[in-house]
C-alpha cells in the first residue's frame, strides 16, 4: 500500500461539521488538508479554525479548481449547494471521492450510503454521509429488525444537542430559548424520518412503521436515542442483546453496553456508538448515543474516507476533541 499522503479539501469549513472535518484532516496521519472554503469567512487564516500552519479560507467557488490535485473532497454544505457542486466535482475530477455531509443524496441510488457498520466500505465515488439521528437509530434498530426479533411498529424518542441544527442564527436555538428547557420539534415532519425508514428497509426492515419524535436538549453536543418496541411472540428475552453483540462483535466503533452506560458523556468527543437493550416480558427498550458532530457527521466522513482509500478504519480518529468548535 502506498504511503503517499492523500490531499483532501473541505467545502463549507466554517460550520460546526466542516470545522471539525478540517481539523481532523489537518492532523490525520495519511490525509493532508489541501484547502478549506467558506464564503462567510474567506480570507481568514486557517488558524481561525484551530488549524496550525499557513493558509487561508478561500471562497466556495474555488473548490472545483483547487480539487485538481486532491484524492477527496468533503462537502459540509447545505443540500442545495451539494446538489450542484458534487456533480460538477465528479464531472471535472473523475478520480476524486466526494463525501457529502448533507441530505442531498441519501435517498437516491447515485451515492453510497456511508454508514460502514451496516453498508460496508464505499463502493461509489460519491458518498452520502448519514444524518446524525439516522446513524444512532439505524445502528440500534437494524440488527433487531433484520433478525425479525421485534414487531414492525417502533417508536423512537430522539434528543439532540443544539449543534445538531448547525451554526445558523435562529431564535429557537438562542441561549434564552434553550437554557433550562426541553422541547419536541418537527413531529411527523422531520427530514431524517424517511432516511431512517428507507435504510432500515434496506437491512431487512420492509414494512416497519417508525414513529420518530426529536427533541432539542440544552447541551452543545450529543444524540441520545430511546426506542420502544414489542418482542415478537416466542422470541427469548435474551435474543435482542445477543443479536446486538453478535452483529457488532468485530466493530471498531460500536460498543454494546449495559443500559445505564448509554450516555452523552461516554461518547461526546469520540467516533463511538454506544448501544444497549433492555427487555421485560415483550417490552423492548433500546438505547443509543453518539456525538452528533463526529460519528454523526465529520468523524464518520473521515471513517468513510479511510475505508475508501484502504486505510485503517480508525486512522486519525483515535484522538478527537470534546469541546465544541
- Based on the fold, state whether residues 97 and 116 are members of the same structural domain: yes
Judge if 228 and 109 occupy the same domain: no
52 and 33 assigned to the same domain: yes
Same domain, 48 and 75: yes
Residue span of the structural domain in which 234 resides: 132-290
Residue 135 makes CB contacts below 8 A (sequence gap 6+) with: 115, 223, 273, 290, 295, 296, 300
Residue by residue, DSSP assigns 239-291 as: HHHHHHHHHTTT-SSEEE--GGG--STTTTTSS-EEEEEEEETTEEEEEEEE-
C-alpha cell of residue 48: 481561525
The alpha carbon of 125 is separated from its chain's Cα centroid by a whole number of angstroms, namely 18
Same domain, 95 and 197: no
Judge whether 284 lies within some domain: yes
Same domain, 146 and 286: yes
Q: How far apart are CA 237 and CA 227, in angstroms?
A: 16
List, in order, residues 6 or more apart from 103 with CB less than 8 Å away.
79, 128, 131, 191, 192, 195
Q: How far apart are CA 245 and CA 223, in angstroms?
A: 21
Residue 166 belongs to a domain: yes
Kindly state whether residues 260 and 281 are assigned to the same domain. Answer: yes
Per DSSP bridges, beta strands 183-184 and 209-216 are antiparallel
Report the alpha-carbon distance of residue 85 to residue 105 in Å, rounded.
12
pTM of the model: 0.94
Per-residue pLDDT of the chain (325 residues; tens, 9 = 90+): 457 899 999 999 999 999 999 999 999 999 999 999 999 899 999 998 888 877 999 999 999 999 999 999 999 999 999 999 999 999 999 999 999 999 999 998 999 999 999 999 999 999 999 999 999 999 999 999 999 999 999 999 999 999 887 666 566 777 767 888 899 999 998 888 999 999 999 888 778 899 999 999 999 999 999 999 999 999 999 999 999 999 999 999 999 999 999 999 999 999 999 999 999 999 999 999 999 999 999 999 999 999 999 999 999 998 776 655 5
Q: Cell 484547502, residue?
A: 35
CA distance 115 to 50: 28
Helix (H, G, I), strand (E, B) or coil at 188: coil
Residues labelled catalytic: 132
Task: Residue 137: name the closest of 182, 203, 232 by CA.
Answer: 203
Reading the block at residue 240, the C-alpha cell is: 435482542
Give me the helix-helix angle, 132-146 and 192-200, nearest 10°: 30
Specify the CATH number for the domain of residue 32. Answer: 3.40.50.720
Taking the C-alpha atoms of residue 75 and residue 22, their distance in angstroms, rounded to an integer, is 11
Please state, in angstroms and rounded to a whole number, the distance separating the CA atoms of residues 9 and 85: 13
In a domain, 319, yes or no: no
Q: Are residues 138 and 285 in the same domain?
A: yes
Please tell me the total count of domains within the chain: 2
Which pLDDT belongs to residue 32? 96
d(CA 279, CA 245): 15
Q: Are residues 237 and 172 in the same domain?
A: yes
What is the C-alpha separation between 219 and 252, in angstroms, rounded? 27
**Do 269 and 224 share a domain, yes or no?**
yes
Domain at 205, CATH number: 3.30.360.10
Q: Are residues 137 and 61 in the same domain?
A: no
- Asked if the structure places residue 17 within a domain, the reply is yes
In a domain, 23, yes or no: yes
In a domain? residue 266: yes
Rounded CA gap, 98 and 156, in Å?
Answer: 31
CA atoms within 13 A on the CB side of 189: 4
Is residue 48 in a domain? Answer: yes
* Spatial distance between the Cα atoms of 58 and 65, rounded to a whole number of angstroms: 11
Q: What is the pLDDT of residue 44?
A: 93
Q: Is residue 260 part of a domain?
A: yes
The dihedral sign for the CA sequence 223, 224, 229, 232: positive
Per DSSP, the three-state class of 78 is coil
All residues at 6 or more sequence positions from 282 whose CB lies less than 8 Å from its CB, including other chains: 230, 231, 233
Provide the pLDDT for residue 318: 86
The label of the residue with cell 469541546 reads 323
So what's the pLDDT on residue 171?
Answer: 67
- Please state, in angstroms and rounded to a whole number, the distance separating the CA atoms of residues 70 and 75: 13
Is 147 found in the same domain as 251? yes
Amino acid at each position: 500500500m502506498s504511503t503517499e499522503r492523500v490531499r483532501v479539501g473541505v467545502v463549507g469549513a466554517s460550520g460546526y461539521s466542516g470545522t471539525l472535518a478540517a481539523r481532523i484532516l489537518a492532523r490525520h496521519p495519511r490525509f493532508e488538508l489541501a484547502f478549506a472554503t467558506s464564503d462567510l469567512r474567506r480570507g481568514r487564516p486557517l488558524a481561525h479554525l484551530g488549524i496550525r500552519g499557513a493558509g487561508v479560507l478561500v471562497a466556495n467557488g474555488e473548490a472545483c479548481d483547487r480539487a485538481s490535485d486532491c484524492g477527496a473532497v468533503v462537502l459540509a454544505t447545505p443540500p442545495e449547494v451539494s446538489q450542484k457542486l458534487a456533480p460538477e466535482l465528479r464531472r471535472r475530477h473523475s478520480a476524486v471521492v466526494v463525501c457529502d455531509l448533507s441530505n442531498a443524496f441519501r435517498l437516491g441510488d447515485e451515492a453510497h450510503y456511508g454508514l460502514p457498520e451496516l453498508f460496508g466500505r464505499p463502493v461509489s465515488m460519491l458518498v452520502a454521509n448519514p444524518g446524525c439521528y439516522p446513524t444512532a437509530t439505524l445502528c440500534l434498530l437494524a440488527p433487531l429488525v433484520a433478525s425479525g426479533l421485534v414487531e414492525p411498529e417502533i417508536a423512537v424518542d430522539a434528543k439532540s444537542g443544539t449543534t445538531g441544527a448547525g451554526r445558523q442564527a435562529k431564535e429557537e436555538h438562542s441561549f434564552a430559548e434553550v437554557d433550562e428547557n426541553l422541547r419536541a420539534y418537527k413531529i411527523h415532519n422531520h427530514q431524517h424520518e424517511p432516511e431512517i425508514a428507507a435504510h432500515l428497509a434496506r437491512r431487512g426492515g420492509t414494512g416497519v412503521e417508525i414513529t420518530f419524535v426529536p427533541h432539542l436538549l440544552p447541551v452543545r453536543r450529543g444524540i441520545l436515542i430511546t426506542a420502544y418496541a414489542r418482542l415478537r411472540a416466542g422470541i427469548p428475552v435474551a435474543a435482542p442483546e445477543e443479536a446486538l453483540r453478535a452483529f457488532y462483535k468485530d466493530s471498531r466503533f460500536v460498543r454494546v453496553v449495559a443500559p445505564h452506560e448509554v450516555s452523552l458523556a461516554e461518547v461526546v468527543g469520540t467516533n463511538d456508538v454506544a448501544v444497549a437493550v433492555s427487555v421485560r416480558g415483550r417490552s423492548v427498550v433500546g438505547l443509543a448515543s453518539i456525538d452528533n458532530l463526529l460519528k454523526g457527521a465529520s468523524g464518520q466522513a473521515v471513517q468513510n474516507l479511510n475505508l475508501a482509500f484502504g486505510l485503517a478504519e480508525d486512522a486519525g480518529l483515535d484522538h478527537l476533541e470534546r469541546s465544541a468548535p
